[in-house]
Structure 1
Amino acid sequence: MNPTGLDLPPLAAAFVFGLLGGAHCVGMCGGIMSALTFAVPPSMRRPSRMAALLLGYNAGRITSYALAGAIVAGLGALVGLAPGVRTVLQWMSSLMLCLMALYIADIWKGLRHIEALGKRYWRYLEPVGRALLPVTRPHQAILLGALWGWLPCGLVYSMLSWSLATATPSQGAMLMLAFGTGTLPALLVTGVAADQIRRLLNSRATRWLAALLVIALAIWQLIVTQQS
């Protein structure tokens, strides 16, 4: 198999990682969703409108993920022109996936330090988002969601390292699209159901299962690299 190719298993794995990383998403973004909901005037909180806004936020967010995946994969293509760099990118991606596994299993939270680096640029985007509040129309929700997609997040950065290793913009975008789609259930469901999802995804067994899946992917990626 071509190590730079992207077939169904990697896309399915990226989706599962997004799904199992939902506890982190709810913890990090659940408060944002609640704040945006209560910012809408009570007289405008019709179910149909709120559903449209919710879908708009997430459509914008996932679009930004895909764009970021295409950008870093394009950078990977440029850097990958040098001999041996592709192998280094594959190793870096596998290392980031292992760190992601430790993060999900609640063993080591070092990815928070990477998130702290991202806060340097987020302070320039945050005022733009505030200017869109309160959100009452779908196009505002999409724009705000697109900004939200650049919120510093260790799990997103881990997946971007994988996109970087593909060194193909279309493949990097597809990988991040699959990951973003996997995060949808946790962020689309609110209230009591969200609490139930949080408890399920925060359970030790679920976190360890997700961590083992991520490590298995990292090992698979290294094996494929060595065979190239």
Structure 2
Amino acid sequence: MGLRAAIERGIRTLKVYGGSALVIYQLRGEWETRNPKLINYRKVFFGLLKKFDDIIFNYIPRDENQMADALATLASIIRVNKEKKMRPIQMSIFKAPASCCNIEEEEKDDNPWYQDILRYVRDRKYPEQATKNDKRTLRRLACNYVFDGNILYKKRKEQVLLRCVDAVEAKLILEEVHEGVCGTNTNGFTMARQIMRFGYYWSTMEGDCINYAKKCHKCQIYRDKIHVPPSPLHVITSPWPFSI
């Protein structure tokens, strides 16, 4: 359709840019066309080539073909009246995708629970107004943490590193593990083990998991009621002797 539109406008010299390497290299003759469906298109194409004095085919990767995709999208949604002239289209190019403008800013925890440990492991500095006992406790706790790539990790006994997360990230992890896409609405202890298996850690993890499971509405309704008060048993006689 593009070649025929160029022929209607009397264009004799043309540069063609395509995002499909298969089509471009086949039209250049560098690749052989074996698909029976494409052979007929190739014959029609070479028939149209005779009406051009010079035509060049260039391949553009899809990452560099964003402008062509935008123009193709506009062409599919706009109806042009042949009797009226088409006004020029003004387009603006932004540094970031438009979808990023709709994303709300994420909350940040300015004072995470591991702030003092991170400062000591990274800079070997103690918090202000720290006593000798506080410094000794901080040194003992810091032995179980590793700082790598601007991220603090908790080192377990089996030398497995767990990424330390703040309160905001911990809330998101609790929601995803308990009732997310793959959530199973497990109890607090099982949630804590799952989170550690996934590679995350925070100091109050087990208590937060238990409290989160207690406040879950679905768990309170559908979970087995193991703490129901006892009720008297009612003896039911067998009806077999009276069946005759």
Query: What is the TM-score when the length of structure 2 is the normalising length?
Result: 0.19
The TM-score, its normalising length taken from structure 1, stands at 0.20
Larger relative contact order (CA 8 Å, sep ≥ 6): 1
Q: Which has the higher Rg, Structure 1 or Structure 2?
A: 2
Higher helix share: 1
- Structure with a larger share of its residues in strand: 2
